[in-house]
Structure 1
Amino acid sequence: MTEADVVYSDVKFTKSKENATVTSSPNESTYSEIKISRTEPSAGSQQQAAGGSKVTADRVAVVVLSALLLAAVTALGFICYKHHQTTEHLQKLTDENAAMRKNITETRCEVITVQKPCPQPPSDTCHKCQEGWEQNGPQCYFFSTNKLIWEEAREKCRQNGSDLVKIESEDEQSFLIQRLRDKMAEDEDKFWIGLTDSVTEGTWLWADGTPLNESLKFWSNNEPDDWKGHNNENMNGEDCVRMGEKSGSGLNWWFDKSCIAPQKRICEKSAETGRLKCV
């Protein structure tokens, strides 16, 4: 027991008067010291203990919240990293597939020509593109380096027996994306395709008059927006379509644009058909 747990008290005892022979003065007393133990802490001690407990609880809460926040940030960073890796891997596979398909298409005729026996005149046919054109299946594509407005670009294609490209499958869109990624010098270096709503606003038609297949649209985010410029400086809006996204991923590479804004072009025509030669 400590001194803080002891209370001192003076108790006064008066002598008995039974012994008459002993005289004493009225003020004569005997004092005895009594120690009483406290069973409850003082108010100050209670407040100090409560204050210490509250501070400790607050510190524990801060540590726990900090740990949870660190774990959440770490998990988010890991998820972002894995998403980036997956996107890059998917794009790499897409590019490799397009390149492999292109290589197989371009060499198919030569391979069959070398390997095919010729007991009878051959009936197989192959498709080849003229010099300066690139092949994807039975179609040939020309990617220009000069820029023209949409109507002039289409006329230039028609002079070569072709037309502005008409995209009819995801495979074709993927092939064009792979080729444009190598040909674009900057983000605004885009190419006209044969799609327009210049006849009726909102009704998209290919150059040959065929309506756009609603299940095969490759618009970029928030496109088409028919942007008319500041203060309606372009009153006709954006009625023609170009494509290209140098640093983008996925297939959505279409943007509407004013038909009188010069752009590069993609021309398309069927490959030449010929018979395989026997060796």
Structure 2
Amino acid sequence: MTTEALFELDLTDGPALTLHERASGHLAERYPWDSLEPSRYPAALLERARYSWTLRALNEFGSATVMGQLVQVMGEARVPLDLWSLAARFPAEEIHHVELCARMAMRLGGGTRLSYSPGAFAVAFDPSLTYLQRASELIVRVCCVGETLSFALLSGCLRATSHPLTRAVLTTLVQEEALHGRLGYLYLDWLAPDLDAAEKDRLGRVAREALDAQAPLWEKLRSSTKDGVTSEGFLLEHVTELGWMESRDYVTVSQETAETQVRAPLSRHGIRVP
């Protein structure tokens, strides 16, 4: 049974919070939160930004969940310790990103009400797969495709913005996610020589499914900009300050990344994406 839950975040008010803040670098103090003034932006754009940053927080929440699953499966598969150790850092980094994105939404006036299925993030495996095949599937689906695309899009948003708070938050996300996609190919450097043709074909289909899941998002992004104003009447300056690229840039970056940083390197490892 699939149950829906309201996406909500909370912190305790005790020793655990003190330890958390120490470990995460006291986010309330490290970033120039007061530099972002919500009254500067039109109400309609502000509402979209609140939704966007809340959705980013939810997506990072999902990433933290599936990264935890990746660590578990890699341990069950007994992959080399250096690969496993690198992956073990990722859940904590994703949780860090959840908090940063949520704080951005709060700075803009509060998070948007979003519902989600708590059990929907974890990947359901074919029970006939070995632990190593499960690890390979997660590596391809999450690292080689999902995190590679995410890193490219976040990097594009970072290049587009000049706002000090938005730049600071996106810089953290980009720096900490840089290794997430790379791990996929470090893993394949180790494993690919031992993959048989059937497993390479299966992983190619896994990559295709992961790319197809992204395509509907690209198709929605078709608005244009002229003379610094979007087709919806928003100033492009405001759009980039709040953390977006131009809409058409999302499509360009996504498609170029899919070809040059997903399909091509997978092909070099003998994994052809249909």
What's the TM-score bracket when you normalise by the shorter of the two chains?
A: under 0.3
Larger CA Rg, structure 1 vs 2: 1
TM-score, normalising length: structure 1: 0.24
Structure with higher strand content: 1
The structure in which a higher percent of residues are helix is 2
How does the TM-score come out when normalised to structure 2? Answer: 0.24
